[in-house]
Structure 1
Amino acid sequence: MKLSTLTAVEWFVKRGLAEAPKTSYEHALREVAAMAYLYGKGYPQQAAYQMVESWELGEKFYPGERHEHY
């Protein structure tokens, strides 16, 4: 169970780490959590990625979202 779970989320982790320097760690964490949630609901990995990315407008999920770099 442990190995299969960590293997399944590895792509999302790498995606979030690549995204964070461009936006913020908060934004990247929210993004990959949403993707992993959809993946867990049965969406294919790429479909989950595309769906969550489609929710963004200008690298933000909602007006006023902060992009702080830590």
Structure 2
Amino acid sequence: MKSSTLKAVEPFVQYGLREARYTSVEHALREVAAIAYLMGRGFDPRTAHQIVESWEVDERF
């Protein structure tokens, strides 16, 4: 379970680290946490990411 969980979230950890370079750490953490939450609610990773991105206006929620 540990390995599969870490493997599932790793792409979004990397995404958050890249995102933090251009926005803020707070924004990146909030975005990745929201994606992970939606994944936990049953959304596939791509859809979860698209939903969270749709909430942003000018890199802000």
Residue 12 (structure 2) aligns with: 12
Runs of 5+ unmatched residues, structure 1? 62-70
Alpha-carbon shift at residue 3 of structure 1 (Å): 0.3
Residue 37 (structure 1) aligns with: 37
Q: Tell me which of the two structures has the higher relative contact order, counting C-alpha pairs closer than 8 angstroms and 6 or more residues apart.
A: 1
Q: Quick one: which amino acid aligns to residue 34 of structure 1?
A: A
Return structure 1 stretches of 4+ with deviation > 4 angstroms.
Answer: none
- TM-score, normalising length from structure 1? 0.85
Q: Quick one: which amino acid aligns to residue 22 of structure 1?
A: Y
> Percent same amino acid among aligned pairs?
64
Matched, 1:51 2:34: no
Please identify the structure whose Cα radius of gyration is greater: 1
Alpha-carbon shift at residue 54 of structure 1 (Å): 0.4
Greater per-residue helix proportion: 2
- TM-score, normalising length from structure 2? 0.97
**Superposition RMSD in Å:** 0.5
Matched residue pairs, number? 61
